[in-house]
Amino acid sequence: MTVEVSTPTDADLAELADVAARTFPLACPPSATADNIAAFIAENLSRARFGEYLADPDRAVLIARDGARTDGDRIVGYAILIRGVGADADVQRAVTTEPAVELSKMYVLPDAHGAGASAALMTAALDRARQLGAAAVWLGVNQENQRAQRFYAKHGFVVAGTKTFRLGEGVESDYVMVCPL
């Protein structure tokens, strides 16, 4: 796979929302209900929401494309960065290096796992965080998602605390992982 990472345009929003809707459930723990997952997707991962994210100066959206495909350069993954730590007290305790940027979302389609898309997207996300002036990048990852935790650790993230994450009507337990830049 030849991976190309770039900033999406308005023309990419429908495909990006589709990739987001297909990948988000893969990171959810088995206890998450289909209704709660669907509610999160509808509220946060729609075409309209991605349009808002692109227009927000405190966010950076990246997409990974499979540039080697003969049927076109399809989006295989995406990442969203958000400046700052936010108001969550648990995150504020865990993220002690500032300025910081949150790696809010980073998902890759299953058929692109192990093909370099995730690594390319992470490298580009960390580079973009540096461009935004960050001294650290932080993220929340479900405590049951060991595969993601291993991936993040491989890229320099360490567990620095815990927080909760609202998923529809449910509340999930996350680790806060931090990567100094």
The structure's pTM equals 0.93
Instruction: Report the residue count for the chain.
Output: 181
The 3-state DSSP class for residue 81 equals strand
Q: Are 95 and 160 in contact (CB under 8 A)?
A: yes
Could you give the number of structural domains in the chain? 1
Residues 107-128: tens digit of each pLDDT: 999 888 878 899 999 999 999 9
Helical residues (DSSP H) of the chain, grouped into ranges: 13-23, 34-44, 47-55, 89-94, 117-131, 146-154
Rounded CA-CA distance 177/166 in Å is: 18
Query: Tell me: the pLDDT tens digits for 3-52?
Result: 899 999 999 999 999 999 999 999 888 889 999 999 999 999 999 999 99
CATH code of the domain covering residue 157: 3.40.630.30
Q: The domain containing residue 140 runs over which residues? A: 3-180
